[in-house]
């Protein structure tokens, strides 16, 4: 069974069979990553461009590695949006790149909707690597993979996303994906970090981190954007840490196994302490490895569709 | 030169007129109204108006003409052509040009450039210099030069103290102050804030950004006894605030743009930038309250907020694309389709909102169907079914979400004095 779409724009509306197919395919590629020769010829002859309009190190490297391990030819186009705003339009840039004959575009952009727009002006397969505050589907897929790897399932688990949900594309993709896979999803953070209408997505809202820890199997801890939040949505990172930070003391209160995810990069001492970030419950570095496998799976499934 | 409109339904709610008749126009003046025998009109050009309506020339009080400054997007001439094609004989043009309409020279420039056109163009002056909200524009001088209102257009007048001064100063001329009601500290977004903005990952502008300033302006209108006109009202709460203020006798009027009674923020799901405007498209509850407000008179008029933008500007990533859409050439068709044919408003009520009320708000005379009056009228076929085709627009720009939409009702011709626009062409009569 192939995927139901030739693009991966987000997880909203993506059927469960597709998510399962990606997660299952990733298991195979995860094994490839442990081999001495970490390369397969699957996408030989395919050309992929990584179109990054927003700073990103991890996601770009992860995609690039995934592409190289599948033997695809890759080109990177990185630019800050401010420089392109003045000169060539986005459409012209894409048309120019398109004219060079490529098969897939991995795109990250500050504006939501850009991946969808790309499907209208390009014939390539489009993969969303993060658009505005909208979606970051491969991140959510690797989160789900990591949860499944640790706990053996997703269905029926209680997963809480902690932090600035209102300004997080990771949160939204996780909510859509996890709910499709049968998990119970909740969010936790101060009211200023909760987006309008979130309850209508069938998501429980906590403002108390201790209750959230007590009632959930998994915590997906979001990065606090120091420059964005302090003073406007929270009084200070110190106050945030005091009331929402994930500490080993807080976890110890409940004497239970819990899985801690973090999409990185970590602000140690703000949303999570070093003790937890390096401790037994975290799967943070597994997420990074799994990210390559997930992206290989997505690239493979889309790149070999007919 | 003479022309006869034969068997036309004359509707002018301001004259309590609604009857079928024929109209003879000579040298731009109405010469006869009533039954005209074939013999009487054998040397005249006759337009058979069976099934059509003639109304006082329609008036759009919120138009961006872009000249001076952005003649690549629209000029006084192309915007006026678009107005005529849309059924309008008069428009008020907003001051956010470059330079702003904040000097007598710019007012005179616009009036001079538009004076030979069928469409009457009335400039709206800036309320403050450069629309910066810091110092009053030379309003007295602007009034003498021909403005019909002031506005800081695009933004609300920045602070309460300047707003008070503008209102008090304008009271001397009975000049309305048109306000774009939005608190800028809450308006850092690309669409309405709500479930849809959350789902689409776009920053939202909450409706309270509008409501707060509507409230402020109403209170200041009451305090100063001056007139405030709320531009492009879009939120349910704002409509309710205007309704309550009117009950108290506060001098507040309001307009709505067609897109705010036609679309909701569900349209943004396609990320089509032709649905990006400010104020943003809101929710079904807001739309319903707007329909109620149109019916009960809380909303006085319909105005297009005609905002031409070049293709390259509008075809940008959603968060960077400029706000605004064209409106002049689709407004009447949308209003007839969405309001009259759906039985929200009667034809009379619609004509009040598209012709009578905007003129009254701007202290302009309402054209009459009377012998001796200058002919200033729009002939409408309310049942004509047509498809919007933006390649046929007279406007210089194409940014319309209505392209390919099927509408019922269209202007057939407009006459202003001895000029007529008909079948896509201007001529003299």
Q: Are B26 and B2 in contact (CB under 8 A)?
A: yes
pLDDT given at position A100? 86
Q: Are A152 and A174 in contact (CB under 8 A)?
A: no
Average pLDDT taken over every residue of chain B: 97
Out of A89, A114, A133, name the one closest to residue B312 (CB). Answer: A89
Rounded average pLDDT over B165-170: 98
**Catalytic residue list of B:** 305
Per the structure block, which two tokens stand in for A284?
A: 């943070």
Chain B interface includes A205 (CB < 8 A): no
Residue B34 in this model has a pLDDT that exceeds 60: yes
Per the structure block, which two tokens stand in for B236?
A: 């349910």
Beta strands B120-123 and B88-93: pairing type? Answer: parallel
Question: What is d(CA A72, CA A50) in angstroms, rounded to the nearest whole number?
Answer: 12
Per the structure block, which two tokens stand in for A48?
A: 């992929």
Q: Do A172 and B319 touch (CB under 8 A)?
A: no
Q: Pick the residue from chain B with its C-alpha nearest to A82.
A: B320
Chain A interface includes B358 (CB < 8 A): no
Distances in whole angstroms, Cα of residue B293 to Cα of each of A64, B214, B215, B258, B385: 56, 15, 17, 13, 27
Beta strands A47-52 and A104-109: pairing type? Answer: parallel
Per the structure block, which two tokens stand in for B306?
A: 């005609």
Q: Do A12 and B316 touch (CB under 8 A)?
A: no
Out of A85, A169, A196, name the one closest to residue B201 (CB). Answer: A169
pLDDT given at position A226? 77
Per the structure block, which two tokens stand in for B154?
A: 């695009």
The predicted-structure confidence for B315-344, as pLDDT tens digits, reads as follows 899 999 999 999 999 999 999 999 999 999
Q: What angle do CA B382, B383, B388 make, to 5 degrees?
A: 90
Question: What is d(CA B80, CA B95) in angstroms, rounded to the nearest whole number?
Answer: 16
Per the structure block, which two tokens stand in for B254?
A: 């309001």
CA distance A89 to chain B (A): 7
pLDDT given at position B36? 84
Chain A interface includes B205 (CB < 8 A): no
Chain A interface includes B189 (CB < 8 A): no
Peptide bond into B288 cis (omega under 30): no
Chain B interface includes A89 (CB < 8 A): yes
Q: Which of B297, B353, B347, B256 is nearest to B62 (CA)?
A: B256
pLDDT given at position A85? 57
Greater pLDDT, A56 or B165: B165
pLDDT given at position A86? 58
Task: Spell out which residues of chain B touch residue A90, defining contact as CB-CB under 8 Å.
Answer: 316-317
Contacts of B17 (CB under 8 A, 6+ apart): B10, B11, B369
Only one residue has tokens 């009320």, namely B357
Question: What is d(CA B188, CA B278) in angstroms, rounded to the nearest whole number?
Answer: 11
Q: What percent of chain B has pLDDT over 90?
A: 96
ipTM of the prediction greater than 0.85, yes or no: yes
Per the structure block, which two tokens stand in for A10?
A: 């987000």
Q: Are A72 and A300 in contact (CB under 8 A)?
A: no
Q: What are the backbone angles phi and psi of residue B59, rounded to the nearest 5°?
A: -135, 130
Q: Do B271 and A117 touch (CB under 8 A)?
A: yes
CA distance A139 to chain B (A): 16
Distances in whole angstroms, Cα of residue B244 to Cα of each of A71, A151, B282, B357, B403: 69, 59, 21, 19, 37
Q: Which of B412, B373, B356, B414 is nearest to B28 (CA)?
A: B373
Hey, is B151 helix, strand or coil?
strand
The predicted-structure confidence for B67-110, as pLDDT tens digits, reads as follows 999 999 999 999 999 999 999 999 999 999 999 999 999 999 99
Q: Do A132 and B312 touch (CB under 8 A)?
A: no
Per the structure block, which two tokens stand in for B209?
A: 């950004």
Per the structure block, which two tokens stand in for B117?
A: 């056109």
Question: What is d(CA A173, CA B199) in angstroms, rounded to the nearest whole number?
Answer: 10
Q: Are B88 and B357 in contact (CB under 8 A)?
A: no
Hey, is A194 helix, strand or coil?
coil
Q: In what order do the strands lie in the sheet with B125-126?
A: B125-126, B150-151, B177-179, B228-230, B252-256, B301-302
pTM: 0.94
Question: What is d(CA A142, CA A132) in angstroms, rounded to the nearest whole number?
Answer: 19
pLDDT given at position A194? 95
Q: What angle do CA B386, B389, B390 make, to 5 degrees?
A: 145
| Residues of chain A under the 70 pLDDT cut | 81-87, 306
DSSP 8-state symbol, B14: G
pLDDT given at position A84? 54
């Amino acid at each position: 069974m192939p995927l139901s779409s030739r693009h991966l724009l987000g997880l909203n509306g993506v059927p469960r069979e597709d998510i399962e197919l990606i997660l299952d395919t990733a298991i195979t590629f995860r094994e490839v990553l442990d081999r001495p020769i970490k390369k397969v010829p699957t996408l030989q002859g395919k050309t992929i461009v990584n179109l990054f309009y927003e700073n990103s190190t991890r996601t770009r490297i992860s995609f690039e590695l995934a592409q190289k391990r599948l033997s695809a030819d890759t080109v990177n186009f990185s630019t800050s949006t401010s420089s392109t705003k003045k000169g060539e339009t986005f459409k012209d840039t894409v048309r120019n790149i398109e004219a060079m004959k490529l098969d897939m575009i991995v795109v990250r952009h500050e504006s939501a909707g850009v991946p969808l727009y790309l499907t209208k002006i390009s014939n390539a397969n489009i993969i969303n690597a993060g658009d505005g505050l909208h979606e970051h589907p491969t991140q959510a897929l690797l989160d789900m993979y990591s949860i499944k790897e640790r706990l053996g399932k997703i269905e029926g688990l209680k997963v809480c996303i902690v932090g600035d949900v209102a300004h997080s594309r990771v949160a939204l993709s996780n909510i859509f994906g996890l709910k499709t896979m049968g998990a119970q999803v909740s969010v936790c953070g101060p009211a200023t970090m909760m987006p309008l209408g979130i309850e209508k997505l069938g998501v429980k809202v906590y403002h108390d981190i201790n209750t959230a820890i007590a009632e959930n199997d998994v915590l997906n801890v979001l990065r606090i954007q120091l420059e964005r939040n302090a003073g406007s949505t929270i009084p200070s990172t110190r106050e945030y840490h005091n009331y929402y930070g994930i500490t080993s003391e807080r976890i110890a209160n409940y004497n239970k196994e819990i899985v801690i995810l973090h999409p990185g990069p970590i602000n140690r001492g703000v949303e999570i302490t070093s003790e937890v970030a390096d401790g037994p419950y975290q799967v943070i570095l597994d997420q990074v490895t799994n990210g390559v496998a997930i992206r290989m799976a997505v690239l493979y499934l889309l790149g070999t569709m007919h | 030169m003479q022309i006869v409109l034969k068997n036309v339904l004359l509707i002018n709610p301001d004259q309590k007129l609604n009857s079928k008749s024929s109209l003879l126009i000579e040298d731009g003046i109405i010469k006869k109204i009533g039954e005209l025998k074939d013999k009487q009109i054998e040397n005249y050009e006759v337009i058979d108006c069976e099934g059509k309506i003639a109304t006082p020339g329609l008036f759009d009080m919120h138009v961006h003409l872009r000249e001076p400054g952005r003649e690549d997007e629209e000029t006084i001439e192309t915007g006026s052509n678009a107005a005529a094609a849309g059924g309008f004989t008069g428009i008020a043009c907003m001051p956010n040009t470059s330079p702003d309409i904040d000097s007598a020279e710019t007012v005179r420039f616009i009036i001079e450039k538009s004076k030979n056109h069928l469409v009457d163009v009335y400039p709206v002056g800036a309320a403050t210099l450069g629309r910066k909200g810091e110092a009053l524009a030379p309003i007295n001088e602007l009034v003498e030069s021909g403005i019909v209102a002031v506005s800081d257009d695009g933004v609300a007048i920045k602070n309460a103290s300047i707003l008070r001064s503008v209102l008090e100063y304008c009271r001397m001329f009975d000049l309305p102050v048109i306000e774009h009601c939005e608190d800028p500290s809450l308006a850092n977004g690309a669409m309405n804030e709500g479930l849809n903005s959350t789902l689409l990952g776009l920053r939202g502008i909450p409706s309270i950004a509008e409501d707060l300033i509507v409230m402020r302006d109403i209170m200041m209108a009451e305090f100063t006894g001056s007139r405030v006109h709320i531009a492009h009202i879009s939120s349910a709460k704002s409509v309710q605030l205007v309704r309550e203020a009117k009950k108290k006798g506060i001098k507040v009027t309001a307009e709505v743009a067609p897109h705010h009674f036609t679309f909701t923020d569900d349209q943004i799901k396609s990320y089509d930038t032709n649905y990006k405007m400010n104020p943003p498209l809101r929710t079904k509850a807001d739309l319903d309250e707007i329909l109620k407000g149109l019916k009960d008179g809380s909303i006085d008029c319909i105005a297009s907020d005609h905002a031409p933008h070049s293709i390259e500007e509008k075809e940008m990533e959603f968060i960077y694309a400029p706000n605004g859409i064209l409106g002049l050439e689709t407004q009447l068709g949308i209003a007839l389709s969405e309001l009259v044919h759906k039985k929200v408003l009667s034809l009379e009520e619609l004509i009040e909102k598209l012709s009578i009320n905007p003129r009254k708000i701007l202290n302009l005379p309402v054209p009459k169907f009377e012998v001796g009056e200058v002919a200033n009228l729009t002939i409408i076929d309310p049942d004509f079914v047509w498809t919007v085709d933006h390649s046929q627009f007279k406007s210089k720009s194409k940014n319309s979400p209505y392209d390919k939409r099927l509408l019922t009702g269209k202007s057939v011709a407009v006459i202003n004095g001895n000029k007529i626009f008909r079948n896509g062409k201007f001529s003299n009569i």
